[in-house]
Structure 1
Amino acid sequence: MSLLPGPTIAALFGADHAGDFLAHWPERHYAVHRSAGALPPALRVPELASLEALARIYKGPVTFGRGTRDARTVNVDAHAPHLFQLGLTVYLPDIARFLPVLARWLQTLEQELGLPAACTTVGAFASPRGDGVSCHFDADDVISIQLQGHKIFDIAKVDGLPYPSGQQFGPGMLPGDELYPQAGAGFPTPDHASFESIAMAPGSVLFLPRGTWHRSVAEQDSFSVSIGIRPPPAMDRLLKRVHDLLLQQAEWRRPLYEANQATGRETLATRLDGLLEQLPKLLQQIHGADLLQPDQTPLPLKAGSRLQQVPQASLAYQRLPPRLKLSVSALDRHWVARTTLDTEVPGHLADALDWLADTQAAFSAGDFYQRFASLAQADKQQLLELLIRSGFLRLLWYPALEN
């Protein structure tokens, strides 16, 4: 992987170690040990000074357990420090929701790792001395950052199950349904794994690829945060693309009314066979590059970009020669109509605005450019992008179904 260390990665692992981390990412574990004062500022905010400080601003769910005794955990609505004082390990998921500075820092980390947006979360772990987490593996890549106290991680690679998907799993845990298709040869077990011990102190950072057995025991009261990294796998992107294509065909949208009718099942099965015979042709419309596209297509527009007028949005203009006073009204997320655009544009765009106001069907930017070939390309592109930002046009994220 040809990534170069950026400032966020360098601050997390240290400038001298960032390149080594990227040489291991995302296939091999990597640990670095520095002082807590060397951690990035986003991890040294007062709210992360202790479990008690974090609990004062955290309003989400709390998970607790006794990891050294049992793999089971319980979700409760409780004050986390109280559970910790009872000798329990507690976990606070998605703490970045309550720490905007941490959320912004995660965004920069995603960008430097070349990851899709919003594929990372960060949670906080607190274990009293002598407790920790039971042996398991995650379906996320994990970066664990020790903030207080000392603990020992024992880690080993899971054999026979590369890139697990779904939920975490380990001895004593009930597997999620998604794990069964992945573990047809048998569910993984750590019984014969060769574990490596890694001592974590304040400032230590440990990267664990998904599918790594790990367990921990706190040698002192321990407080840490863990970044979970879950980019979408290829199958998720493919299923989304197929779903968007099938939505464009009425027969695939038709409910299976006859599914439980004894007299209609055979006819229904025959009809579905006919639909399935069309799938290879449909799949040929999807290319590898399509699976790399984000869920929301970004600007700037390309000729192949497709757009459609947003229902309940309206466009109007007033002639103020040689300009046009253009306004757009659109519904916000509360379904309240608001003026989202109030500006002036060149008067020669009137015909293009009339066409856009009257066109209900989806169209491509390239078709629009050709239709108004006499207009300057920059004017046409800027107009479309202006109407997208104001909520009059929606930039479509899926390809049109080919006949």
Structure 2
Amino acid sequence: MPKPARSRNLLDFLFDVPKEEFLNDYYPHRALIYHGPPERFGGLEKDPTFQNPEATLHAAKGDYILGFHHKRGSSVQAQSMFARFSALGMLQEGWSLNVDFLDQTVPALGKWMDSLQKDLGLKPGNIFCSGIISPAGSGVPKHFDSVEVFTIQLYGSKKWWWAPATEIAFPGTSVMPGVKNNYRDGNMRPDYYPKDISKEMPKGAKSAVMKPGSAMFMPRGWWHQTYAETLSISLNVGIRMSTGVDALTGALQSELEKLDAWRKPLPLATPEHLASARQHLAALLKDLAANLENFDDKAVHWASKDGPSRPRMGPPK
């Protein structure tokens, strides 16, 4: 594959399919992996930040690092937060490290993500990046994310397993079933999630070894887990797209807040308050249809201009 010209879209050379084919046939519901020359990563493959763990940790933003404990051959799965000064020692103890917000501290990565953002039609707040450092024999346990993720391998090699989750489609929060405390996303699950989920990967899961130059797209709601074959450094770019719930509720709130009647407070301290609130809401709902003219256009506009807020942290891999 020839080196891409600067003027080309990033998605034209990230995988072995053209941008339009990727957007029409894979994004956002179908996984894709491609092993190609690392030179197509636009200089990230040579950036000193990603050539050793010390340099990657030095670029971290913030005082704490998220860690994952999942050694091959061990049933122990754990997640914890470390002070940044102790993270290198935890890596040597077998913990994988999630280094957030590298796009804000590494200029070359920021430019790379700007290109991907434009290719995907995203606003800046809905694309974010984490670096994942894993020692040999360790990785991140089975989980799925509630965002879409692009992964590129920059140093070392890491084996992946992945399969679509049949338990739930398009999840609203991530799940790591083998971990007791989820420090990254919290332990609350929506009511529509099943109560019992196996911590083992599904039978028939696909697998591949990511090496420098490998790129993968992983949709939300797909189970995956990793083990590093050697010391590994990779980048994960998370994509927070609007859902139908986001677009409709966000746009509806934006429209209704313009009307005095919808901003009126509803006291609920007495039986008379409750009766008044029911009467007021009934009147509002009766008139709601009048506020929904051309609402599909307003919802799409809201999703493209405002959209949902970005997650607190990026997804681990």
Please indicate, yes or no, whether the TM-score normalized by the shorter chain is above 0.5. yes
Retained in 1: the 8 A contact 2:11–2:119? yes
> Could you tell me whether the CA contact under 8 Å between 1:87 and 1:128 is conserved in 2?
yes
280, 290, 294: which is aligned to 2:289?
Answer: 280
- Corresponding residue of 2:3: none
> What is the aligned partner in structure 2 of residue 74 from structure 1?
80
Q: Cα 1:181–1:7, aligned 2, differ >3 Å: closer, same or farther?
A: same
Retained in 1: the 8 A contact 2:143–2:174?
no
Are positions 1:218 and 2:228 aligned together?
yes
Q: Is the 8 A contact 1:64 1:73 kept in 2?
A: yes
| Structure 1 residue identity aligned to 2:46 | R
Q: 1:267-306: CA deviations, max 9, x gaps?
A: 3222222222222332x234322222257969xxxxxxxx
Is residue 261 of structure 1 aligned with residue 270 of structure 2? yes
- Residue 85 (structure 1) shift: 1.9
Larger Rg: 1
C-alpha distance in 1, partners of 2:190/2:199? 18
5+ residue gaps, structure 1, are 299-403
Q: Specify the code of the residue in structure 1 equivalent to 2:222.
A: T
Question: For residues 285 and 76 of structure 1, what CA distance do their matches in structure 2 show?
Answer: 51
Tell me which of 48, 62, 76 is aligned to 1:46. 48
Which whole-Å CA distance do the structure 1 matches of 2:58 and 2:101 have between them? 15
Letter of the 2:279 counterpart: T
1:271 aligns with 280
Instruction: Give 1:266 deviation, angstroms.
Output: 2.4
Which secondary structure state, in structure 1, belongs to the residue aligned with residue 137 of structure 2? Answer: coil
**Separation of aligned partners in 1, 2:135 and 2:67:** 12
Judge conservation of contact 1:241–1:286 (CA < 8 Å) in 2. Answer: no
Post-superposition Cα deviations, 1:326-359, rounded to whole Å, max 9, x if no partner, equal xxxxxxxxxxxxxxxxxxxxxxxxxxxxxxxxxx
Superposition deviation, residue 254 in structure 1: 2.2
Q: Is the 8 A contact 1:120 1:230 kept in 2?
A: yes
C-alpha deviation, 1:44, in angstroms? 3.2
Q: Specify which of 210, 219, 235 is matched with residue 209 of structure 1.
A: 219
* Aligned positions of 1:4-403 closer than 5 A: 6-13=8-15, 21-22=22-23, 23-60=25-62, 61-68=64-71, 69-79=75-85, 80-172=87-179, 179-183=189-193, 189=198, 192-256=202-266, 258-282=267-291, 284-293=292-301
TM-score calculated relative to the size of structure 1:
0.64
> Deviations 1:118-176 (Å, cap 9, x if unpaired)?
32111011111111011010111111111111111111111142222233443445796
Unmatched 5+ residue regions in structure 2?
1-6, 307-317
Corresponding residue SS for 2:233? strand
Distance of aligned partners of 1:76 and 1:176 in 2 relative to their CA distance in 1, 3 Å threshold: closer
Cα shift at 1:32: 0.9
Conserved? CA contact 1:17–1:32, under 8 Å: no
Q: Which has the higher contact order (CA 8 A, sep 6+)?
A: 2
Equivalent-residue separation in structure 2 for 1:236 and 1:43 (angstroms): 36
Q: Tell me the distance in 1 between the aligned counterparts of 2:277 and 2:302.
A: 36
In structure 2, what is the Cα distance between the partners aligned to 1:295 and 1:220? 41
Stretch deviating more after TM superposition (261-270 or 118-127) = 261-270
TM score, norm. by length of structure 2: 0.80
Q: 1:237: Cα distance to partner?
A: 1.9
Distance 1:131 1:297 in 2: 40
1:50–1:177 distance in 2 versus 1, CA, 3 Å: closer
| Residue 7 (structure 1) shift | 2.9
Over the matched positions of the two proteins, sequence identity in percent amounts to 23
**Distance of 1:127 and 1:294 partners within structure 2:** 39
Distance 2:280 2:21 in 1: 56
Q: Distance in 1 between matches of 2:157 and 2:304?
A: 43
Equivalent position amino acid for 1:41 in 2: G
TM-superposed CA distance for 1:221, in Å, is 1.4
Distance 1:178 1:279 in 2: 32
- CA distance in structure 2 between the partners assigned to 1:154 and 1:277 by the alignment: 51
Query: What is the Cα deviation at residue 214 of structure 1?
Result: 0.2
Relative to its length, the structure with more strand (as a share) is 1
Q: Is the 8 A contact 2:146 2:170 kept in 1?
A: yes
Q: CA deviation at 1:210?
A: 0.9
